Amino acid sequence: MKTWINVLRSEWLKMRKSNIWLLVFVSPLLASLIGIGESSGEAGPQWEYTYAMMSMLHAMLFLPLLTGVFAAFVCRYEHAGGGWKQLLALPVSRTSLYMAKFTIVLALLAVTQLLFVAGLLIVGKIKGFEAAIPWELILRGVFGGWVAAVPLAALQLAVSVAWASFAAPLALNVIFTLPNMLVAQSEQYGPYYPWAQPMLSMLLPPEGGFGAFNVPLETLVFVIAGSFALFFAAGLSYFIRKEI
């Protein structure tokens, strides 16, 4: 445990000196601009409608993409100039190192989600929403989106560790993120598609439901937990046996 904390502290200092922090503002900012621009929900539940509009872009596109960017970035320095050899020459276990990098990715995603909430509140303030803030809906959706991104983070970290190229994991992530809207409409495939799970977890089912939104919450949670265990175990096992 102490080793993991020391490695985590080292990874944290490394991230503080980089420009990765600028990326956590991208999706919340763009989602907030959408929230300010939309006006169709003024006659209905304003908070709920604005949250849904902002979540659509954020959870369907940018959150999965940022997950891949964060995962690739935490491995970027080690892939350059023999960084893995230098790092593993230190008295630190590969398990602690892998878990520390995974924790950093989750922390960056958590900050992104918190900024999304802040953006939603600012939009509501600017537009003068008078209704009470539906905290239960917002926090459940934002936390659910973060949890749903955990298996994807585990998958992306495994790919980023395996591939020395910084661009290759990002390109792969883009390719699998773009079909999200189509896949999410499939009750058969949507819940099992890692790139669509954040969207399914953050958005409220439309009236009457459609596609994967008809899947019970228990099923989605089971799939998320199972895929996380599979992706994380596979990535960690590969990293432990990987020849540097």
DSSP string, the chain: -HHHHHHHHHHHHHHHTSSGGGGGGHHHHHHHHHHHH--TTTTS-HHHHHHHHHHHHIIIIIHHHHHHHHHHHHTHHHHTTTHHHHHHTSS--HHHHHHHHHHHHHHHHHHHHHHHHHHHHHHHHHHT--SPP-HHHHHHHHHHHHHHHHHHHHHHHHHHHH---SHHHHHHHHHHHTTHHHHHT-TTTGGG-TTTHHHHHHSPPPTT--GGGGS-HHHHHHHHHHHHHHHHHHHHHHHHH---
Quote the pLDDT of residue 139: 92
Residue-number span of the structural domain to which 30 is assigned:
2-241
Mean pLDDT by 10 residues, the chain (244 residues): 71 76 91 84 75 91 93 83 74 86 94 96 91 91 92 94 85 89 78 87 58 60 89 93 77
Give me the amino acid identity at 26: V
At 12 the pLDDT is: 77
CA 131 to centroid of chain Cα atoms: 30
Predicted pLDDT at 211: 45
Count of structural domains, the chain: 1
111, 115, 118, 120: CA torsion to nearest 10: -130
| Reported pTM | 0.89
